[in-house]
Amino acid sequence: MEPTIELPSIEVLSSEPQSTELPKTKPPVMETPSMETPIIEPSILEFLTIEPPAMESPAMDSPAMESPMIELPTLHERIESLQALLQILTAEARQDEHARKELLGVTMKAMASLETPAETILRMMHSPIVPSVMMTIIKMGALHAIVNSDTPMTVTQLANVTGADELLLVRLLRPLVALRFFLETDVETYTSTPISQAMTIPHILGGFQFLSAGATKSLAYLPEYLAMTHFRSVNSFPGPFEYAMGGDNSAKQGMFEWLISDPLMLANWHAFMSGRRGQRKQWYDIFPADKIILEGASHGDDGTLLVDIGGGEGQDAESFRTKFPDVAGRVVVQDLPEVICTIEKLDHRVMRMEHDFFMSQPVKDARAYYFRNIFHNWPDSSCLKILENTALAMKRGYSKLLMFEWVLPERDVPLFPALLDINLMALLSGMERTEAQWRKLLDSAGFEIVKFWKTSPDTEGMIEAVLKGEVGSSDEL
How far apart CA 448 and CA 96 sit, in angstroms, is 37
**Tally of residues, the chain:** 477
Among the options 203, 270, 355, 376, which is catalytic? Answer: 376
Strands 330-335 and 350-354: parallel
Q: What is the DSSP letter of 250?
A: -
- Rg, Å, the chain Cα set: 28
Is the Cβ–Cβ distance between 137 and 143 less than 8 Å?
A: yes
Q: Is 376 a catalytic residue?
A: yes
Q: What is the DSSP string of 264-324?
A: HHHHHHHHHHHHHHHHSPPHHHHS-HIIIIITT----TTSEEEEEET-TTSHHHHHHHHHS
Judge whether 54 and 62 are in contact, CB under 8 Å. Answer: no
Exposure string over 151-176, b if 16+ CB within 10 A, otherwise e: ebbbbebbbebbebeeeebbebbeeb
The Cα–Cα gap between 321 and 272 comes to 23
Residue of 168, 162, 165, 157 lying closest to 141 (CA atoms): 162
Catalytic positions: 376
